[in-house]
Structures are given as C-alpha cells and as structure tokens.
Chains A and B, each alone.
Chain A
Amino acid sequence: MYSSKEHGFFTISGNLATQYVQAVGWAMASAIKNDTKIAAAWIGDGSTAESDFHSALVFASTYKAPVILNIVNNQWAISTFQGIARGGSGTFAARGLGFGIPALRVDGNDYLAVYAVSLWATERARRNLGPTLIEYVTYRVGGHSSSDDPSAYRPKTESEAWPLGDPVLRLKKHLIVRGAWSEERHVQAEAEILDEVIQAQKEAETHGTLHAGGKPSVRDIFEGVYAEMPPHIRRQRQKAGY
C-alpha cells in the first residue's frame, strides 16, 4: 500500500478507523518529544461508528494531543445512508462535544471555507492547544469503488439535487468574479493537470502492471515480514522454489 515517510504520509491500511487512533498516538509522541510536528487523520461518515473512532477521541481528549481529526461526511457508506452511523446525534461534529473536543462543521464543497477551518485547527495544534474535530459536509457523486453501482441503492438523479454544488466549479466562479481567473485559464489548467496525471500513470506503469507483467520475483513475497527473516519463513521460501 502507498506510503511516504519522507513526506510524513503514513502507510494506508484497508481496515476502518484503526489509523484514526494511531494518528493520535503519533501526535502524543510528538508532544512527548517536545516536537512541533502535528498529526492529521481522515475518516468517513460510516466508519465513525467503529469503536476505534471513539478510542481516538478519548485519547485525544485525555492527552490533549496535537491532532486534527477530520470526518468526511459524503452522505453514503457504500449503500448505507450516513444517518445509520450518526444515529440520534444531530451531526457528526456533535460527537466531539461529549469528549470536550472543539468541533466544527463546514461546507466541504466550499474550498475557501475548508481551507480556513483547516488552518484554524492547524494553528490550534501547533500552539499545543489540543485536538480539533472537523466535519466536512459533502456528497459522493460517483460509486464507492470502480465495482460499485450507486443506482442500485439511491435515485440516479440524487447527485444533481445536491445543493452544495461542485467545489471546483464553485471556486472557479468565485475567482472569475474576483478577476483572478478566466474560462481560458481554467481550460488550460485542466489540460495541464490531466497531462500531469497521465504522465505519472505512464511512469508508474513502466514498473509493471498486473496485466502486462513485470511483477517482482516470488522470492519477494517472503521479504519484509520481519526485519530479519526467521527460519520458518526461509524454509517456506525454499519450498516455493526460491
């Protein structure tokens, strides 16, 4: 899974909410070492129902960890509406209040509002004032994954009715009105970004793909389970023929 220690980007896991509490631990470590670094974690509306979400809030609250706990409420956890995870709580942001954690709720499709709120929480953490919980209200227009068809569980036209619009189009409109942007520059920027993504994809594919081959040696399966390969894994590697 992707990770980049160099950029402070922790290794992504597939299971849910486990890393929310790890971010709190990372922030606690930074505080223990009198460091100024802060941590940020993201979770979806559905995963806030996991016990690790609540563990994260308890630990963040108790130790006043310099961490920003972000909730992306995009209304849908695969086929399940966010109300199933939220229950009787009016908002996800309200979850923070019971833990004594300052909580904010923001229009997640307003670029400038998201930026301002994040900056505020970042400042709070950097000045060692403790954690902040932020709920970003947004909408998942596409499927949960490439194998998910949302028309099976919600009206096809629902996304069009979403009142908060597309964040990119809203920012574009705002900047044009302010004279800082134009339709022409937007078209050009979109082309440049698309080109950059395609170039990155091509470069990534030079390392091999599942379909075109270029996979690493079978020998590599057995590497990196431990710092030093124990005898039983070495025997299994030999059994596999490597």
Chain B
Amino acid sequence: MARMTMIEAVRSAMDVSMERDDDVVVFGEDVGYFGGVFRCTQGLQAKYGKTRCFDAPISESGIVGTAIGMAAYGLKPCVEIQFADYMYPAYDQITQEAARIRYRSNGDFTCPIVLRMPTGGGIFGGQTHSQSPEALFTHVCGLKVVVPSNPYDAKGLLIASIEDPDPVMFLEPKRLYNGPFDGHHDRPVTPWSKHDLGEVPEGHYSIPIGKAEIRRQGAAVTVIAYGTMVHVALAAAEEMGIDAEVIDLRSLLPLDLDTIVQSVTKTGRCVVVHEATLTSGYGAELTALVQEHCFYHLEAPVVRVTGWDTPYPHAQEWDYFPGPGRVGRALAEVMEA
C-alpha cells in the first residue's frame, strides 16, 4: 500500500494498465512530454515511449475521433480531455459514434475507449473550467459514466474502465485531486495522506462499474451524491448532527438502484446533491427513480441541492457551489417535513 493523491492514483491506474497491456495508449492535449496540466500522465511517455503516450493537437473531436478509429483497430485508448468543459467539440463523436458502434454493427465492431476529464468547480476556474456535464452523458445510451470521490476508487475504477469493452466517460472531480474537499473553502485543505481512502495498493486491482458505496450509515435520511459532493454531504451531516446515510454512487450509468432503494426504504427521506445545474440534471433522474420505487416509504418530498441554473460565476464561486451550509439546510428541511 502507498499514500496517493487522486492525481497519483489516476496515474498509477494508467501505468499499471499500460504495463499489463501493450494495446493501452494514452494521449491528449499536453499529456505527452509535459505530463498533463494536472500532471496525471507525468512520466508515462518517458516510461512507455512516444507511440504509447503522446501529445495531441488541440482538437477534441480529432482526439476522440482518432481514439474511436484506434479502438476499431483493436487498441484501448485512454485519452484525456483537458477539462470536461472542452468536450463539446467531441460530442458528435461521443454520442453518435462511440456510443453506437457496437449496436449499429451488431457487435462486429466495438469501442473500448476511456475519456478522462477533470470536472467540477471549486478552483476559481470560471465558466469554462468548472462545468459538470455528466447529465449530457447519462442521457446517451451506450455510454458508461463514472465519477470517483477518492484515490482508492479512482484507481480501481479507472483500471475497470480501461478494461471495459464499452466507452466510459471518466469524470475526475478536480477539486478532489489533492484532498477530500468538504466545501469549507476558508479552512486549510486536508491532504489525502490524512484520509483512509488515500491508502492505495500499488499494483493491479479493479472496482466494478455500477456499484455504489455507503460512506456513512444512517437511519434518518438518505443523501445521494457523487464526486466532491460526497465529502460535502458527510460534513453537512456531522455539522447538523443529523443521522444521514450518505451514498457515493461512483457510477452514474449503470446506476446501483438497489442500494438507493434499500436505503430510502429504510430512511423514508431523501436529499439529492450535485454540483451541476438543476434543470434536467442527473438529480432529476435520481429523484424520479426514488419516486417510482420508494413512493410509499417517503415521509417527505425529495429535495435537490445543486448548482444554480446559471453559467458558473467566477467571483461568486462559493455562492454557487452547493456547500455544507446549503446541504445542511436541505437535511433540516426534509427532517421537519
């Protein structure tokens, strides 16, 4: 075991995968010589050479398009989209090509690619470096969507994603790269070295895609979260002294509905939290599923805590970011209902 940040865990996952399988290639903007703007691919080019890890032109549709072609040949490309906000030029390639190649060729061709992309806010990235576009992927049949919340999961899930036979959108909450950020931006940052889930095996292991994890057992209310919001929800539950059960989804598509239904059936209350905008966000899907499957167990309406329906505001980041204050108030609200 070693102590790793989420950056080191993601890098270790690619390293282990490239070591085990010559067909795994890594490329993207600045990922080769420089090792990526977040340093996630640092050292991989030196270790595996320029044909296995290389820089790409600034053209996301080109990066994803060539990755699809490589996958059709038989490689397993794990590419980096520098920020999730940059994926839009590749959206046609992702939705109408990668997601459908298996279906439209009746399995003759497949598309085992991974698109890693730093996602979410909390780093003063402004409107084009803070977005959470996961719902634009969960709406597309044929894709898998994974969002880890800690180094241990990030490594195990990224290895599982690289080994998966279908295209996986791997969203890395960039505010979690260096520590379990709980939304208290005015307090010192806790490093991963002081957190249990910063303890990561150095070798190969994988975590199945589609299995949620309960981060905090509780009986009063279920909080459904993923990525950075898992840590915010944990902080909110402690600060409010509410016996919340916090579910870390880890995978949005496929979704571990059983874990959600089991928990809400027990607690009778549910709060859904995400950083992305509210309207047609993934929280709408979660809320609908809870309503469909747990209606007769609910004691209160399901409440959503999300980013506002505005572009990400640079100067008012902490009024936009759903911090422990807002999540705590939502917990109190469903408890009073």
Residues of A within 8 A of B (CB): 1, 3-5, 10-11, 13, 15, 18-33, 39, 51-52, 55-56, 58-59, 62, 224-227, 230-233
Q: Is the CB of B109 within 8 A of A3?
A: yes
The reply to whether B66 and A59 contact each other, CB–CB distance below 8 Å, is yes
Q: Counting CB contacts under 8 A, is B103 at the interface?
A: yes
Q: List 14 A-B contacts (CB under 8 A).
A: A1-B104, A3-B106, A10-B109, A15-B92, A18-B93, A21-B61, A22-B66, A24-B65, A28-B69, A29-B74, A51-B61, A59-B57, A59-B59, A232-B257
Contact yes or no, A29 B65, CB < 8 A: no
Chain A to chain B: the 5 pairs with minimum beta-carbon distance, closest first: A25-B69, A25-B66, A21-B65, A55-B62, A29-B73
A contact residues around B51 at 8 Å (CB) = 31-32
Inter-chain contact A58/B101, CB cutoff 8 Å: no
Contact B96 A25 (CB under 8 A): no
B255 in the interface (beta carbon within 8 A): yes
B306 part of interface (Cβ distance < 8 Å): no
With the chains together, A18 CA to B66 CA distance in Å?
Answer: 10
Tell me how far the C-beta of B170 lies from the nearest C-beta in chain A, rounded to whole angstroms.
16
Residue in B72, B92, B165, B253 whose CB lies within 8 Å of A18: B92
Residues of B within 8 A of A26 (CB): 69-70, 72-73
B59 & A58 in contact (Cβ 8 Å cutoff):
yes
Instruction: Let me know if A18 and B73 touch, CB within 8 A.
Output: no
Q: How many residues of B contact A (CB 8 A)?
A: 44
What B residues does A39 contact at CB under 8 A? 69
Minimum Cβ distance to chain B for residue A207 (Å): 13
Tell me if B188 is interfacial: C-beta within 8 Å of chain A: no
| Contact code string B41-84 (vs A, CB < 8 Å = 1, else 0) | 00000000001100011010110011111101111000000000
Cα of A5 to Cα of B101 in the assembled complex, Å? 12
Q: Mark B24-51, 1 if CB is under 8 A from A, else 0.
A: 0100000000000000000000000001
Q: Is the CB of B103 within 8 A of A224?
A: yes
Quick check: is B141 within 8 A (CB to CB) of the other chain? yes
| Nearest opposing residue in chain A for B106, CB measure | A224
Contacting residues, chain B, for A30 (C-beta < 8 A): 73
Contact partners of A22 in chain B: CB under 8 A: 65-66, 68-69, 72, 97
B110 lies within 8 A of chain A by Cβ? yes
B108 in contact (CB, < 8 A): yes
Question: Known: A13-B97, A29-B70, A56-B62. Is A226-B166 also a contact (CB below 8 A)?
Answer: yes
Q: With A3-B105, A21-B62, A52-B61 in contact, is A227–B69 under 8 Å at CB? A: no
A239, B333: Cα distance in complex, Å:
35
Interface string of B277-307 (1 = CB under 8 A from A): 0000000000000000000000000000000
Chain A residues lying within 8 Å of B104, measured Cβ to Cβ, are: 1, 3, 11, 13
Q: Which residues of B contact A31 (CB under 8 A)?
A: 51
A24: chain B residues at CB < 8 Å are: 65-66, 69
